[in-house]
Amino acid sequence: MAVLDELPTRVLCVDLGAQDAASQHGAMLAWHASRGHGVRCVYPGRRPDSGASCDPGLAQLCPDLLDPIEWSPATSTGFEIDGLALDAHPLLVERLRETVQASGAELVYGPGLDGEDGASGLERRALGRAIRAAIAGLDGVRLLEASSTGELNFELPADLASHGSSSFSEYLAPATGFFSGASEGPQATAVICTWNKCADVRANLEALRAQTRPFADVIVVDNASNDETTAMIAREFPEVRLIVMPHSQYGACETFNIGFASVTTLWTVILDDDVVLPAGWLERAASRFLDEPDATAVLSSKIVEPGMPESYRNSPAVNRERYMSTFRGCASLARSSALAEAGGYDERLYIYGNERDLTCRLLNLGYRVLQYPGVAAYHKTPFGVQMGKRSLYYHARNAWLGMLKYAPLADLLRMPYLVLTKVLLRSRSAEVQGEVSDATGTIGLGHSIRQTPGAWWVLVRAALSVLVNLPYCMRHRAPVRSADFELPIK
């Protein structure tokens, strides 16, 4: 029997609503309150219940059940996220940690992970996972989860025992194993490549810990960062498989391929380092992928980015399921065997355009890529082609290298005209209206050319590199005949 008097005296209860808190944790909250302990409640789920069904005696002992800590999940991240369910909320872990720290709690009561099916069960599991991830880095904070197993069954005074459950299990952050408990069905490994983005990688990995469908493995390939990235991962995420490159001159294509080659699970989740996945991302994406035939190689989720216009974000083209000729490499779920069969990314590309290039090879092998807007990932990189000479050079060069290898001749002959009229002269307003929905690598390219000093010299260098690589492209030329194929210009 667990000893009540050994429990901390500063207490925070986190649940979906007042009725949930009362039914799941009421007996223990009543005991703490009867001893004069500091008891606070917070309801991230903001369920529309008033707590009227709570026992009046419990409500009197714990008035915070009916008047909880105000919890506002919105922040100035550039994402419009109000009104999202907890399993779809990208800032859940971050906000929960801030709430725990602000409360000064040494003991947190939270929902268990054995919630019911359906939307409310998914939110409960998302909240439970997120609380685990949030307190993992907080010293001196214990978590007791409502449990049907009764691993911790406190013996309460008779006048308090009627207020609710007293069966809990204590969660301790694991030293190994990315999650406690494995998911059912096909397993997934997340692959992240990074360089000098310590804070972003931490937020990314915390979100992976909070997934309602656990990852079997997480691989981070670090391109010889000179900040605290590798030390942080080793210290805070010892369960992550960390691969550190000997120097920082490797391209993203090569480092991702190293990560892909290390995967042993059926699925690979391809992630940028500055992405945050909501807690229900993998569960929802995997559920949809399981309905697809074996010929579907990649499920590309919806991406939300700072500065993304509402007109683009809500346009019909990016919010319907369809098969595409590319995928969003910042957050996609792929069959590991298909990635291996297609040969991964073309390392000659170095960075940018690699997803479209890989998709062409997948299409030639008979695979397809599904755009699935039923889940969204939150990418901290601003919307559109990034400004700067490096970005402009690789976007311009690699678009041509890829099409020289894979575009049918008729399409290839049309490209110069299309580049001029559909990219260089395309208005920014047409892009933000959602007119460009597949050729994501060209959104903002015309603007970048107009705003980047020396842009035309950068384009000349890119063209010269295309000429140098022409023999390579011809050796690998394999025009795509799939009906899914489209030029990277629309």
Digits of tens for pLDDT over the chain (490 positions)?
Answer: 578 888 999 999 999 888 888 888 988 998 998 899 999 999 887 655 555 566 777 877 788 787 787 776 655 445 555 567 889 888 899 989 999 999 999 999 998 877 566 557 888 899 999 999 999 878 889 999 988 776 788 888 888 888 877 788 888 766 544 554 556 778 999 999 999 999 999 999 999 999 999 999 999 999 999 999 999 999 999 999 999 999 999 999 999 999 999 999 999 999 999 999 999 999 999 999 999 999 999 999 999 988 788 777 888 888 999 999 999 999 999 999 999 999 999 999 998 889 999 999 999 999 999 999 999 999 998 876 666 688 888 888 998 999 999 999 988 888 877 776 766 555 555 555 555 555 455 565 556 666 667 777 888 899 999 999 999 999 999 999 999 998 877 6
- The reported pLDDT for the residue numbered 426 is 55
Reduce the DSSP state of residue 72 to 3 states and report it: coil
Q: Cβ neighbours of residue 145 under 8 Å, at least 6 residues apart?
A: 109, 110, 111, 112, 113, 128, 168, 169, 170, 171
CB atoms within 10 A of CB 266: 14
Q: What's at 64, amino acid-wise?
A: D
Q: Cβ neighbours of residue 270 under 8 Å, at least 6 residues apart?
A: 191, 256, 329, 330, 331, 332, 333, 334
What is the rounded CA–CA span in Å between residue 357 and residue 141? 48
Closest listed residue to residue 92, CA positions, set 140, 142, 51, 42: 42
Phi, psi of 40 (to 5 degrees): -130, 155
pTM of structure: 0.89
Reduce the DSSP state of residue 221 to 3 states and report it: strand
What is the rounded CA–CA span in Å between residue 337 and residue 335? 5
Reduce the DSSP state of residue 240 to 3 states and report it: coil
Give the bridge partners for 331, in sequence order: 271
What is the rounded CA–CA span in Å between residue 138 and residue 127? 17
Q: What's the token pair of residue 156?
A: 């309460």
HSE at residue 76, side-chain half, CA atoms within 13 A, is 0
Give the bridge partners for 170, in sequence order: 144
- The reported pLDDT for the residue numbered 76 is 44
- 319 and 352 in contact (C-beta within 8 Å)? no
What is the rounded CA–CA span in Å between residue 21 and residue 32? 14
**Max Cα-Cα span within the chain:** 84
Helix axes 389-406, 455-468, angle to 10 degrees: 30
DSSP string, 154-182: ----HHHHTTS--EEEEE---SSSSSSSP
What is the rounded CA–CA span in Å between residue 438 and residue 64? 50
HSE at residue 375, side-chain half, CA atoms within 13 A, is 26
b/e code 346-372 from CB counts within 10 Å (16+ = b): bbbbbbbbbbbbbbbbbbbeebbbbbb
Q: Which domains does the chain have, with CATH numbers?
A: 4-171 (3.40.50.10320), 183-383 (3.90.550.10), 384-490 (no CATH)
Torsion of CA 217, 222, 226, 231, to 10 degrees: 20
- The reported pLDDT for the residue numbered 374 is 94
What is the rounded CA–CA span in Å between residue 168 and residue 171? 9
Residue 83 gets the label, from left (phi > 0), alpha (psi -120 to 50) or beta, of left
Closest listed residue to residue 274, CA positions, set 219, 365, 337, 199: 199
What is the rounded CA–CA span in Å between residue 406 and residue 103? 58
- The reported pLDDT for the residue numbered 68 is 81
What is the rounded CA–CA span in Å between residue 20 and residue 280? 21
Q: What's at 8, amino acid-wise?
A: P
